[in-house]
Amino acid sequence: MNIKTFDYQTLLGVENLDPNLEVINDYLVTVFNDILTIEESELKRSKFHDLSIKEMHTINAVGMYKKKTSSEVAKELSITVGTLTVAINNLVKKGYVERIRSEDDRRVVKLGLTKKGKLLYRVHQHFHREMVKAVLNNMDQDEGQALLKALENLHDFLQLYK
């Protein structure tokens, strides 16, 4: 690299010259948007076309197994409890979620999936599994570990802002 090139880059604020950096960033941005829009359009195409991707994510956060409270689910989704209440109202109306007042503490509402909600949960989980399988498809053990390392790094980086 000659000094002229270096100065030019410095002036533009391009600190890191690794070409992979830009490529990886572009992939991240594209893939990010694609996942959202594809999940949305696949949902519309399925028998669950009365749901948006946000509603799907709410159902995902409610989860199959342990019944969670409204507060727990809202926190997991990073929305206010008020917003969640509205969302759950719609999902109850549509038959995916049920509310159960806790007997221990009658202020608390436990959320659970109906049979229909559980069916959807499994379908969505299947899509995710296929996606991750496709990612790992032609990758060996070491490459898989590298991906995991990258995800851990990204996760740790994001925690700094929480």
Q: Which of the ranges 1-9, 14-22, 48-56, 63-71 carries the binding residues for a second copy, by CB under 8 A?
A: 14-22
Using the minimum distance from each CB to DNA, give the nearer residue, 5 or 71.
Answer: 71
d(CA 92, CA 1): 62
- DSSP bridge partners of 101: 109
Residues 26, 31, 34, 36: what is their CA dihedral angle, to the nearest 10 degrees? -120
By CB under 7 A, residue 87 contacts DNA: yes
Listed residue (81, 80, 84, 102) closest to 92, CA to CA = 84
In the bound state with DNA, the residue whose beta carbon lies nearer, of 75 and 118, is 75
From the CB of 114, what's the least distance to a second copy, in Å? 19
* List of residues 6+ apart from 154 with CB closer than 8 A: none
65 binds, among DNA, a second copy, none (CB under 5 to 8 A by kind): none
- Measured from the CB of residue 54, what is the shortest distance to DNA in angstroms? 4
Q: What is the DSSP letter of 109?
A: E
Q: How far apart are the first and last CA of the chain?
A: 39
Residue 25 binding result from DNA, a second copy, none, given CB thresholds of 5 to 8 Å by partner type: a second copy
Contacting residues for 120 by C-beta, under 8 A, at least 6 apart: 48, 51, 56, 59, 96
Subset of residues 77 to 136 that bind a second copy, contact rule: CB under 8 A: 77-78, 122, 126, 128-136
Q: From the list 9, 42, 53, 69, which residue makes contact with a second copy (rule: CB under 8 A)?
A: 42
Map residue 44 onto helix, strand or coil: helix
What is the closest distance, in whole angstroms, from the C-beta atom of residue 13 to DNA in the complex? 27
Which stretches of the chain bind a second copy, using CB under 8 A? 13, 15-16, 18, 20-21, 23-25, 27-38, 41-42, 57, 60, 77-78, 122, 126, 128-139, 142-144, 146-158, 161-162
